[in-house]
Amino acid sequence: MLKTSNQMSKPAVNESMSLVAVLKGILAAYIITIPAFMLFALILANTDYSQKLITPAVVITTIISVLTAGSISTRGLKNKGWLNGSIVGFLYMLILYLSSSLIYRNFVIDKYVVTMVVIGILTGAIGGIIGINIKKSTKYKHAGI
Q: Judge contact between 89 and 70, C-beta under 8 A.
A: yes
pLDDT under 50 in the chain at which residues? 1, 3, 5-13, 138
pTM tops 0.85, yes or no: no
Q: Judge contact between 65 and 32, C-beta under 8 A.
A: yes
What is the reported pLDDT for 17? 61
What is the reported pLDDT for 65? 95
What is the reported pLDDT for 138? 45
Instruction: For residue 138, give the H/E element and its range.
Output: helix 138-143
Query: Can you give the residue ranges of every domain in the chain?
Result: 19-134
3-state helix, strand, coil in the chain (%, to 5): 75, 0, 25
